[in-house]
Amino acid sequence: MANQVHGKKYRAAEKNRDVAASYQPKAALEIVKKSAYAKFDESVEIAVRLGVDPTHADQAIRGTVVLPAGTGKKVRVLVIATGDKAKEAEAAGADMVGAEDYVAKIRDGFLDFDVLIATPDQMGKLGTLGKVLGPRGLMPNPKAGTVTMDVTRAVRETKAGKIEFRVDKAGNVQAAIGKVSFDLGALETNFTAFMDQIIRMKPASSKGVYIRNVSVSSSMGPGVKIDPNPYR
């Protein structure tokens, strides 16, 4: 049935991997690169099935990781800060810096940014924008490092390849760890950094197998399973 749903290019890409096999990361990523067929530079995505119960607050995995080889895309950073902190943000490379002016623009529909960083004293101004920013994952959050007084570090890490991830209701964590155009070594480095962070975040209350399944794919291509045993 699946082959009737997908197009000819997808079905051809599927032939590059054994659907029943689990590969080592390098081999899996090599298949993903080989299988990409879109005319644009597809993202390389990772999906990890965790043995957690997200309904328990201490098992609702959420965090960040700086991908050593970057994300492969330009990230537009808006910083809500005033005074010296605004100057720090500008010096660190923020694309936009402001306070009440940008809060007003967002309220009027401005959303031309990818990451919003704010100093703690400015969060009161952003509180009324929860319905706009929340559903888009743009509301600054201390756990994500986007509510901070260290705006220099926050901006630089974001520009360098910092990504945020969180477990969904089914216990899955998904993220983009690079682009198909990356060389194999860069993708493998990013994959390792992501998995290391996931493993470090294992909740003490999580019982049984923590890393259940791992797979990688390109944006349009088929998933390739990775052997989860080394991470258990």
pLDDT digits (tens, 9 = 90+) for 129-182: 999 999 999 999 998 899 999 999 999 999 999 999 999 999 999 999 999 999
Name the burial class of residue 17, with classes exposed (0-12), middle (13-18) and buried (19+) by CB atoms within 10 angstroms of its CB: buried
Q: Are strands 43-50 and 211-218 parallel, antiparallel or unpaired?
A: antiparallel
User: Is pLDDT of 2 > 60?
Assistant: no
pLDDT digits (tens, 9 = 90+) for 76-98: 999 999 999 999 999 999 999 99
pLDDT digits (tens, 9 = 90+) for 41-65: 999 999 999 999 999 999 999 999 9
- Structure-model confidence comparison of residues 2 and 84, the more confident one: 84
Predicted TM-score of the model (pTM): 0.85
Instruction: Output the six-digit token pair for 25.
Output: 């990361």
Three state DSSP letters for the chain: CHHHHCCHHHHHHHCCCCCCCCECHHHHHHHHHHHCCCCCCCEEEEEEEECCCCCCHHHCCEEEEECCCCCCCCCCEEEECCHHHHHHHHHHCCCEEECHHHHHHHHCCCCCCCEEEECHHHHHHHHHHHHHHHHHCCCCCHHHCCECCCHHHHHHHHHHCEEEEECCCCCEEEEEEEECCCCHHHHHHHHHHHHHHHHHCCCCCCCCCCEEEEEEEECCCCCEEECCHHHC
What is the pLDDT, as a whole number, of residue 232?
A: 81
**Architecture of domain 77-160 in CATH?**
3-Layer(aba) Sandwich (3.40)
What is the pLDDT, as a whole number, of residue 4?
A: 52
Torsional sign, CA 35, 174, 120, 109: positive
Indicate the domain borders of the chain.
Answer: 18-70+162-231, 77-160
Round to whole Å and give the CA distance between 168 and 103.
Answer: 29
Chain-wide mean pLDDT for the chain?
A: 94
Superfamily of domain 18-70+162-231: Ribosomal protein L1/L10, rRNA-binding domain (3.30.190.20)
Q: Are strands 62-66 and 162-166 parallel, antiparallel or unpaired?
A: antiparallel
